[in-house]
Chains A and B, each alone.
Chain A
Amino acid sequence: MANVVSIAAAAAASLPWDVEAVRADFPALAQLVNGHPLVYLDNAATAQKPAVLAALENYYQRDCGNIHRSVHQLGERATEAYERARRTAQAFLGAAEPREIVFTRGTTEAINLVAATYGAANLRAGDEILLTGMEHHSNIVPWQLLAERTGARLQVAQVNDRGEVEMEEFERQLSPRTKIAAFGHVSNALGTVNPVAEWTERAHAAGAVVLVDGAQSAPHLPIQVGALGCDFFAFSGHKVFGPTGIGVLWGRAELLEAMPPFQGGGDMIASVSFERTTYNRIPYKFEAGTPHIAGAIGLGAALEYLQTLGMTRAAAYEQELARYGAERLAPLPGVRWIGQARERTAVFSLVIEGVHPHDVATVLDTEGIAVRAGHHCAQPIMDRFGVPATTRASLAFYNTRGEVDRLAEGLEKVRRIFQG
């Protein structure tokens, strides 16, 4: 497979953060929108891509064969590239073995997989599933479906005024009946970084299995599943600068092995007859049908890119941006900032007095600034803060202080139009 890690990224690994060199790896950033240089601040929705297209193109135009079944050269190359991507994901998460990496369509499918297999096999009426008040809908609804099916109950650890779940509250919601605790590592709506290692320890002590929704942490923090201590960790390809339609579920091998299959089909079986089917070993048991081969290869390329950049350095730069953003946005008149957790990523969920987020987003868009307006698929946390929606600016390691300034100026313009 072509090595898509750029020279700029390789050079940057040993130098101070050169944001311009990093930006050069993301072609989409260098465009004009409505006549202005694009300021892309919707990274929590989806991130821009470095040169991962080369990996997709290489698969589709050179190595295009099906995996795990072709004797021919192309199929072998495809299998090698796909399994290499699995090893890359393993290294990215610090997982013990490649077979603990299951490719899914994304975080949503990964959570649904665990709910439908581990959950259905292990939960009984009266058992409890512990969530927090800041979960994304994709870490709420699969558990609700499971609760309906099994008679289990959802317990929700509530969020304080800063947008944090306090340890006492988390422990209060735990009980000997808690069988699963599922929580986001980083809140998509607020940017709160949760103390998931501590929570996991408490949940394990209560006898629960822990799933961490890493959709918003994998793009911004170095992840070591061993250090987190959790049992499952899920993230999405498109949010870690890779393709859409691909994601990863990491699970402890012994748990994955004991779980029933998710979907039935080709590749997930060892043998099939009309009388009896035996299942393939993990992770293939959970990858029925021809998977998103190109997507997995593209994701592998994106993760290699991130490893070369260095997630620790990227996170340090983003923390600097978060501090600058807070400094620049907090004094703006008429701007309320929801969720000021002490541990945060560079996410700003803003309420502009008297102006609906959709109007804010339209005005900013005419300035070439892309933000998200809405409830961010996290309605419970919007209700918690008593707002129907917010304007969310979510930054990544390729954003700059200058772009934060452009956002602040854009918000001033919003005020001139609607409050003038």
Chain B
Amino acid sequence: MPELDELYQELILDHAKRPRNFRVPEGADRRAEGFNRLCGDRITLFLRLEDGVVRDAGFQGAGCAIFTASASLLTEAVKGKSEQQAEDLFRRFHALVTGHPDQAQAETLGKLAAFGGVSAYPVRVKCASLAWHTLKAALSGDGAPVSTEE
């Protein structure tokens, strides 16, 4: 039986209650929207890129604790990353929450490793990954809203 405190770790609860970068960054030049049809999680993610490097990131929206903490920690994690590095982070985060910690190289994920407990709750994977799918859309720049329903 999965343990609840593996899912709702202190770090996650902290970011859920006090999301960081909950703002529209000055000079944002990339923007994407994400929506989880199932539970109504909704995000608009903003990035400011300089020479292919994420200089600032912020978000607006509303959703559950897992979603909010994931978006908050994402905006911290991608700052200073190149587009390539950010996409690599997306790939590894996704591997982590879908239960492939080896592919995720969880030990290198830093704070994001706190989402390891999500894999035991399959219905919550979408909550954790919505912001990341939105990041990918923001980076690819096609501007189409993303949904967790493929």
Specify the chain A residue showing the minimal Cβ separation from B5: A417
Min CB gap A365→B, angstroms: 9
Min CB gap B144→A, angstroms: 23
A362–B65 CA distance with the chains assembled, in angstroms: 11
* Residues of B with C-beta under 8 A to A389: 39-40
A363–B64 CA distance with the chains assembled, in angstroms: 12
**Contacts A35-B1, A356-B63, A388-B62: A362 and B40 contacting too (C-beta < 8 A)?**
no
**Contacts A34-B1, A388-B62: A362 and B38 contacting too (C-beta < 8 A)?**
no
* Residues of A with C-beta under 8 A to B16: 418
Tell me how many residue pairs across A and B have CB atoms closer than 8 Å.
Answer: 47
* Residues of A with C-beta under 8 A to B121: 362
A359–B65 CA distance with the chains assembled, in angstroms: 7
A373 in contact (CB, < 8 A): yes
A389–B40 CA distance with the chains assembled, in angstroms: 8
Min CB gap A46→B, angstroms: 17
B97 in contact (CB, < 8 A): no
Specify the chain A residue showing the minimal Cβ separation from B7: A362
B53 in contact (CB, < 8 A): no
Specify the chain A residue showing the minimal Cβ separation from B62: A388
A374 in contact (CB, < 8 A): yes
* Residues of B with C-beta under 8 A to A375: 40
Specify the chain A residue showing the minimal Cβ separation from B65: A359
**Contacts A358-B127, A362-B121, A417-B13: A388 and B40 contacting too (C-beta < 8 A)?**
yes
* Residues of A with C-beta under 8 A to B65: 355-356, 359, 418
* Residues of B with C-beta under 8 A to A366: 1-2, 4
Min CB gap A415→B, angstroms: 13
Q: Interface on B for A, CB 8 Å cutoff?
A: 1-2, 4, 7-8, 13, 16-17, 38-40, 62-67, 121, 124, 127
- 11 CB contacts below 8 A, A to B, read A355-B65, A356-B39, A358-B66, A359-B66, A362-B7, A362-B124, A363-B4, A375-B40, A389-B39, A417-B4, A417-B13
A363–B13 CA distance with the chains assembled, in angstroms: 13
Min CB gap B84→A, angstroms: 33
* Residues of B with C-beta under 8 A to A417: 4, 8, 13
* Residues of B with C-beta under 8 A to A356: 39, 63-65, 67
Min CB gap A413→B, angstroms: 9
9 tightest A-B CB contacts, nearest first: A356-B64, A358-B64, A388-B40, A359-B65, A366-B4, A358-B39, A359-B64, A34-B1, A35-B1
A386–B84 CA distance with the chains assembled, in angstroms: 41
Contacts A354-B17, A418-B65 known; list 8 others, CB within 8 Å: A359-B8, A359-B66, A362-B121, A374-B38, A388-B62, A389-B40, A417-B8, A418-B8
A389–B38 CA distance with the chains assembled, in angstroms: 10
**Contact digits for A326-369, partner B, Cβ 8 Å, 1 yes 0 no:** 00000000000000000000000000001111110011001000
Query: Which among A362, A417, A418 has the highest number of chain B CB atoms within 10 Å?
Result: A362
Residue contact A418 to B13, C-beta cutoff 8 Å: yes
Specify the chain A residue showing the minimal Cβ separation from B124: A362
Specify the chain B residue showing the minimal Cβ separation from A360: B64
* Residues of B with C-beta under 8 A to A363: 4, 8
Specify the chain B residue showing the minimal Cβ separation from A33: B1
Residue contact B40 to A374, C-beta cutoff 8 Å: yes
Min CB gap A368→B, angstroms: 10
* Residues of B with C-beta under 8 A to A355: 65
A329–B127 CA distance with the chains assembled, in angstroms: 28
A418–B8 CA distance with the chains assembled, in angstroms: 9
Query: Which among A358, A374, A417 has the highest number of chain B CB atoms within 10 Å?
Result: A358
Interface residues of A in 362-420 (CB under 8 A from B): 362-363, 366, 373-375, 388-389, 417-418
Min CB gap B51→A, angstroms: 38
Min CB gap B123→A, angstroms: 8
* Residues of A with C-beta under 8 A to B1: 34-35, 366
Query: Which among B2, B8, B39, B63 has the highest number of chain A CB atoms within 10 Å?
Result: B39
Min CB gap B43→A, angstroms: 13
